[in-house]
C-alpha cells in the first residue's frame, strides 16, 4: 500500500492561514474596542456584487440596451418606492418574521414600526445580515439596484410595482398629516374648557 504524503506538514502554515491571520489583525486594528463583523460585511459585499453581476448578465443576455438617461419621473418614482420598500422590510411590524432569525424585538417606535437589536449568536455573517435587514438605509442600496435592473429588464412591471409602493408611501404621509391635523384641531378644545360649554 502506497502512503500519500501530505502537501504540507502540520506545523507549516498554509497561504490561507496567513490570510486569516492578516484579516484578524485588520479586524482588531480597525475596531479595537468594539466588535465589528468585518467578515460578515465582506460576505454581504460579495453577495451584493453577485447580485449586480447577475443583473448585468441578465441585461446582456436579454440584448436590451441600457437607457441613455433615466427620465426624471422614473427617478422620482423609484426613489419613493425604494424609500417605502426599505422602511417596510426593515421596520414594519408585519415584516418582523423576515428579520426575526437575525434580530430581537426591542420596542415599538411609531406607527406600525418596531425597533430591533441584532442577535449576537449567529456569528459575523448573521450579525451583518441582521444589520442589513433592520437598517432601511442599508437595504435601500440593494432595493434601488434591483429597481434599476428591473427598469431595464422589465420596465412595465417595475414601474407598476414602484407605483404601488409610491402610492402606499403617499398614503402613509397623508395618514400622518391627517392625524396631526386632527390632533391640532382637537387641542384648542382641550385647552379651553369654556369652548366645551
**Higher model confidence: residue 96 or residue 9?**
96
Would the pTM of this model clear 0.85, i.e. be above it? no
- How high is the pLDDT of residue 35? 75
Q: Using the predicted structure, report yes or no on whether residue 197 has a pLDDT greater than 60.
A: no
Nearest alpha carbon to residue 132 among 11, 47, 57, 65: 47
pLDDT score recorded for residue 111: 81
pLDDT of residue 31: 74
pLDDT 10s digits, 96-138: 999 999 999 999 888 889 999 999 787 888 989 999 999 999 9
Confidence of residue 17 (pLDDT cuts 50, 70, 90): confident
User: Mean pLDDT throughout 64-70?
Assistant: 93
Q: Which three cell numbers stand for residue 47?
A: 453577495
Contact 51, 145 (CB under 8 A): yes
Give me the chain's average pLDDT, please: 87
Residue spans of alpha helices (H) in 3-65: 15-30, 38-62
In 3D space, the residue among 174, 146, 189 whose CA is nearest the CA of residue 51 turns out to be 146
Residue 157 has what pLDDT?
A: 97
| pLDDT score of 26 more than 90 | no
Amino acid at each position: 500500500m502506497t502512503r500519500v504524503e501530505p502537501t504540507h506538514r502540520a506545523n507549516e502554515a498554509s497561504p490561507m492561514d496567513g490570510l486569516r491571520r492578516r484579516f484578524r489583525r485588520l479586524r482588531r486594528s480597525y475596531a479595537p474596542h468594539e466588535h465589528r463583523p468585518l467578515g460578515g460585511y465582506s460576505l454581504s459585499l460579495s453577495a451584493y456584487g453577485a447580485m449586480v453581476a447577475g443583473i448585468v448578465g441578465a441585461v446582456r443576455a436579454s440584448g436590451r440596451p441600457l437607457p441613455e438617461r433615466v427620465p426624471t419621473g422614473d427617478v422620482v418614482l423609484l426613489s419613493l418606492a425604494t424609500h417605502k420598500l426599505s422602511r417596510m422590510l426593515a421596520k414594519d411590524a408585519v415584516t418582523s418574521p423576515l428579520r426575526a432569525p437575525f434580530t430581537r424585538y426591542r420596542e415599538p417606535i411609531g406607527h406600525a414600526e418596531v425597533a430591533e437589536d441584532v442577535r449576537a449568536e449567529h456569528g459575523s455573517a448573521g450579525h451583518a445580515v441582521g444589520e442589513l435587514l433592520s437598517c432601511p438605509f442599508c437595504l435601500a442600496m440593494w432595493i434601488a439596484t434591483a429597481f434599476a435592473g428591473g427598469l431595464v429588464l422589465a420596465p412595465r412591471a417595475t414601474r407598476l410595482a414602484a407605483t404601488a409602493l409610491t402610492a402606499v408611501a403617499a398614503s402613509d404621509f397623508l395618514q400622518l398629516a391627517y392625524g396631526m391635523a386632527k390632533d391640532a384641531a382637537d387641542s384648542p378644545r382641550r385647552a379651553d374648557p369654556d369652548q366645551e360649554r
